[in-house]
């Protein structure tokens, strides 16, 4: 079994962004793995990762709309607001969606479904640079 690890940095505006192609381009050893796994992990508590619809951009807009209604920035009971009104909502959204995704690899390709893609979810108005650690293991 072999292990490979990569790190990439993102800086995107608030919202849900497809990063599948970016992740694949960053993993130069992906095509050498016949059977294995890829984990993508984000090193932040106010942004997240998920896998979902990769074709229609309205899905990403609807995600942002839903999460903003589910966890509004102006919720009056939040006390963790030291970094702004979007800070605590961003932490909650990140916990709901998660900090990593795992994808099987077969013959050097990610085993994503036809309509699946990896989303980077920025929950802050000004999140800044976000670091991703990508680990691949397999034969």
β-strand partners of 21: none
- Considering the chain, what percentage of its residues have pLDDT values greater than 90? 99
SS3 content of the chain, % helix, strand, coil (to 5): 25, 40, 35
**CATH number, domain with residue 120:** 2.60.120.460
Among candidate residues 16, 12, 20, 129, the one with its CA nearest the CA of residue 68: 16
Instruction: Judge whether 77 lies within some domain.
Output: no
The torsion angle over the Cα atoms of residues 26, 11, 61 and 87, rounded to 10 degrees, is: 130
122 in a structural domain? yes
What is the rounded radius of gyration, in angstroms, for the C-alpha atoms of the chain?
16
Residue-level pLDDT at 104? 98
Asked if the structure places residue 106 within a domain, the reply is yes
Q: In what helix (H) or strand (E) does residue 61 lie, and over which residues does it extend?
A: helix 57-70
**Mean pLDDT in residue range 14-35:** 98
Question: Within 10 Å of residue 52's Cβ, how many Cβ atoms?
Answer: 16
- Is the residue at 51 inside a domain? yes
**pLDDT one-digit tens code per residue, 66-75:** 999 999 999 9
pLDDT in tens, 87-109: 999 999 999 999 999 999 999 99
For residue 94, being part of any structural domain is answered with yes
Predicted TM-score (pTM) of the model is: 0.96
Residue 129 is assigned to a structural domain of this protein: yes
pLDDT for residue 50 = 98
Strands 116-122 and 15-18: antiparallel
Residues 6+ away with beta carbon under 8 Å from 31: 108, 109
Q: What is the pLDDT of residue 23?
A: 98
> Which residue range forms the structural domain that includes residue 13?
2-72+82-138
- How many structural domains compose the chain? 1
The verdict on residue 20 lying in a domain is yes
- 6 domain-assigned: yes
For 32-63, the pLDDT digits (tens) are 999 999 999 999 999 999 999 999 999 999 99
Report d(CA 80, CA 82) in Å as an integer: 6
């Amino acid at each position: 079994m072999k292990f490979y690890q990569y790190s990439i940095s993102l800086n995107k505006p608030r919202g849900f962004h497809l990063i599948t192609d970016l992740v694949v381009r960053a993993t130069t050893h992906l095509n050498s793995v016949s059977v294995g796994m890829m984990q993508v992990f984000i090193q932040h508590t106010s942004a997240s990762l998920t896998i979902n619809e990769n074709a229609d951009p309205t899905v990403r807009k609807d995600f942002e709309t839903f999460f903003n209604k589910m966890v509004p920035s102006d919720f009056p009971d939040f006390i963790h607001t030291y970094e702004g009104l979007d800070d605590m909502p961003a932490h909650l959204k990140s916990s709901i969606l998660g900090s990593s995704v795992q994808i099987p690899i077969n013959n050097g390709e990610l085993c994503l479904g036809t309509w699946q893609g990896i989303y980077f979810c920025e929950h802050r108005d000004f999140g800044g640079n976000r670091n991703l650690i990508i680990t691949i293991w397999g034969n």
